[in-house]
Amino acid sequence: MEGLEQQKSAGPAGVLGDRMGIEFIEASPDRVVATMPVEGNTQPYGLLHGGASCVLAESLGSVGATLHGETVDRPFALGIDINATHHKGARTGTITGVATPVFRGRSMATYEIVITDELGDRVCTARLTCLLRAG
Protein backbone atom coordinates (compact mmCIF):
# COMPACT_ATOMS: atom_id res chain seq x y z
CA MET A 1 0.00 0.00 0.00
CA GLU A 2 2.91 2.34 0.73
CA GLY A 3 4.16 2.17 -2.89
CA LEU A 4 0.68 3.02 -4.21
CA GLU A 5 0.46 6.05 -1.93
CA GLN A 6 3.92 7.17 -3.04
CA GLN A 7 2.88 6.84 -6.71
CA LYS A 8 -0.31 8.85 -6.10
CA SER A 9 1.68 11.65 -4.44
CA ALA A 10 4.31 11.78 -7.19
CA GLY A 11 4.29 14.61 -9.70
CA PRO A 12 3.31 14.26 -13.36
CA ALA A 13 6.55 12.38 -14.08
CA GLY A 14 5.71 9.67 -11.53
CA VAL A 15 8.11 8.19 -9.02
CA LEU A 16 10.62 7.01 -11.64
CA GLY A 17 10.51 10.31 -13.53
CA ASP A 18 11.02 12.22 -10.29
CA ARG A 19 14.08 10.08 -9.49
CA MET A 20 15.47 10.82 -12.95
CA GLY A 21 14.95 14.57 -12.55
CA ILE A 22 12.23 15.05 -15.19
CA GLU A 23 10.66 18.50 -14.96
CA PHE A 24 7.57 19.43 -16.95
CA ILE A 25 7.54 22.89 -18.53
CA GLU A 26 4.37 22.78 -20.64
CA ALA A 27 1.51 20.32 -20.93
CA SER A 28 -1.55 20.28 -23.17
CA PRO A 29 -3.07 17.66 -25.50
CA ASP A 30 -1.28 19.46 -28.38
CA ARG A 31 2.22 19.76 -26.92
CA VAL A 32 4.08 18.49 -23.86
CA VAL A 33 7.57 19.72 -22.97
CA ALA A 34 9.91 18.50 -20.22
CA THR A 35 13.61 18.47 -19.39
CA MET A 36 15.87 15.87 -17.80
CA PRO A 37 19.50 16.08 -16.67
CA VAL A 38 22.02 13.81 -18.37
CA GLU A 39 23.99 13.45 -15.12
CA GLY A 40 22.66 10.52 -13.12
CA ASN A 41 21.00 9.02 -16.21
CA THR A 42 24.02 7.59 -18.00
CA GLN A 43 25.18 4.11 -18.97
CA PRO A 44 28.59 2.72 -17.90
CA TYR A 45 30.42 4.56 -20.70
CA GLY A 46 29.23 7.96 -19.53
CA LEU A 47 26.65 8.54 -22.27
CA LEU A 48 22.96 9.23 -21.74
CA HIS A 49 21.31 5.84 -21.31
CA GLY A 50 18.92 4.93 -24.13
CA GLY A 51 16.47 3.67 -21.54
CA ALA A 52 16.53 7.10 -19.87
CA SER A 53 15.53 8.69 -23.18
CA CYS A 54 12.67 6.20 -23.39
CA VAL A 55 11.52 7.05 -19.85
CA LEU A 56 11.44 10.74 -20.80
CA ALA A 57 9.61 9.94 -24.05
CA GLU A 58 7.02 7.72 -22.36
CA SER A 59 6.45 10.30 -19.64
CA LEU A 60 5.82 13.04 -22.21
CA GLY A 61 3.62 10.96 -24.50
CA SER A 62 1.60 9.53 -21.62
CA VAL A 63 0.85 12.99 -20.25
CA GLY A 64 -0.25 14.19 -23.70
CA ALA A 65 -2.42 11.10 -24.22
CA THR A 66 -3.97 11.46 -20.76
CA LEU A 67 -4.82 15.11 -21.39
CA HIS A 68 -6.37 14.18 -24.74
CA GLY A 69 -8.18 11.24 -23.10
CA GLU A 70 -9.83 13.63 -20.65
CA THR A 71 -11.49 15.37 -23.63
CA VAL A 72 -13.11 12.09 -24.79
CA ASP A 73 -14.02 10.79 -21.29
CA ARG A 74 -11.18 8.23 -21.26
CA PRO A 75 -8.68 9.74 -18.81
CA PHE A 76 -6.42 6.70 -18.36
CA ALA A 77 -3.61 6.31 -20.89
CA LEU A 78 -1.81 2.97 -21.00
CA GLY A 79 1.35 2.77 -23.09
CA ILE A 80 1.09 -0.15 -25.52
CA ASP A 81 3.98 0.55 -27.92
CA ILE A 82 7.14 2.62 -27.79
CA ASN A 83 10.05 2.80 -30.20
CA ALA A 84 13.07 5.04 -30.21
CA THR A 85 15.92 5.91 -32.52
CA HIS A 86 19.02 7.25 -30.77
CA HIS A 87 20.76 9.72 -33.06
CA LYS A 88 23.50 11.23 -30.92
CA GLY A 89 25.06 10.65 -27.51
CA ALA A 90 25.00 13.19 -24.70
CA ARG A 91 27.48 13.27 -21.79
CA THR A 92 26.53 16.42 -19.87
CA GLY A 93 23.87 19.06 -19.56
CA THR A 94 20.13 18.83 -19.90
CA ILE A 95 18.02 17.29 -22.61
CA THR A 96 14.59 18.56 -23.63
CA GLY A 97 11.74 16.46 -24.96
CA VAL A 98 8.79 17.76 -26.95
CA ALA A 99 5.78 15.50 -27.60
CA THR A 100 3.27 16.31 -30.33
CA PRO A 101 0.32 14.20 -31.46
CA VAL A 102 0.50 12.04 -34.56
CA PHE A 103 -2.98 10.55 -34.04
CA ARG A 104 -5.69 11.21 -31.45
CA GLY A 105 -8.80 9.07 -31.45
CA ARG A 106 -11.40 8.03 -28.92
CA SER A 107 -9.60 4.86 -27.78
CA MET A 108 -5.98 5.42 -28.86
CA ALA A 109 -3.44 8.24 -29.12
CA THR A 110 0.03 8.30 -30.68
CA TYR A 111 2.66 10.95 -29.95
CA GLU A 112 6.02 11.69 -31.54
CA ILE A 113 8.66 12.77 -29.05
CA VAL A 114 11.76 14.67 -30.19
CA ILE A 115 14.57 14.88 -27.63
CA THR A 116 17.32 17.45 -28.13
CA ASP A 117 20.47 18.50 -26.29
CA GLU A 118 21.32 22.02 -25.12
CA LEU A 119 22.64 22.91 -28.59
CA GLY A 120 19.32 21.93 -30.17
CA ASP A 121 20.80 18.81 -31.77
CA ARG A 122 18.45 15.83 -31.98
CA VAL A 123 19.48 13.10 -29.53
CA CYS A 124 16.50 10.78 -29.93
CA THR A 125 13.22 10.45 -31.80
CA ALA A 126 10.56 8.26 -30.21
CA ARG A 127 6.96 7.33 -30.87
CA LEU A 128 4.52 6.25 -28.17
CA THR A 129 1.06 4.78 -28.66
CA CYS A 130 -1.33 4.69 -25.72
CA LEU A 131 -4.63 2.93 -25.25
CA LEU A 132 -7.22 5.29 -23.73
CA ARG A 133 -9.51 3.83 -21.07
CA ALA A 134 -12.40 5.06 -19.00
CA GLY A 135 -12.30 4.81 -15.22
In this predicted structure, what is the pLDDT of residue 14?
87
Asked if residue 129 has pLDDT above 60, the reply is: yes
Could you give the CA distance from residue 131 to residue 69 in angstroms, rounded to a whole number?
A: 9
Of 23, 26, 39, 58, catalytic: 58
Predicted pLDDT of residue 10: 61
Mean pLDDT of the region 53-82: 97
Domain topology for 17-133: Thiol Ester Dehydrase; Chain A (3.10.129)
Is position 58 annotated as part of the catalytic site? yes
Is pLDDT above 80 for 89?
Answer: yes
pTM: 0.92
Q: 9 or 90: whose pLDDT is higher?
A: 90
Contact 29, 76 (CB under 8 A): no
Dump strand ranges (E) for 1-135: 23-28, 31-37, 76-86, 94-104, 108-116, 122-133
Give the model's pLDDT for residue 135. Answer: 78
pLDDT greater than 70 at residue 3: no
The neighbouring-strand residues paired with 124 are: 86, 115
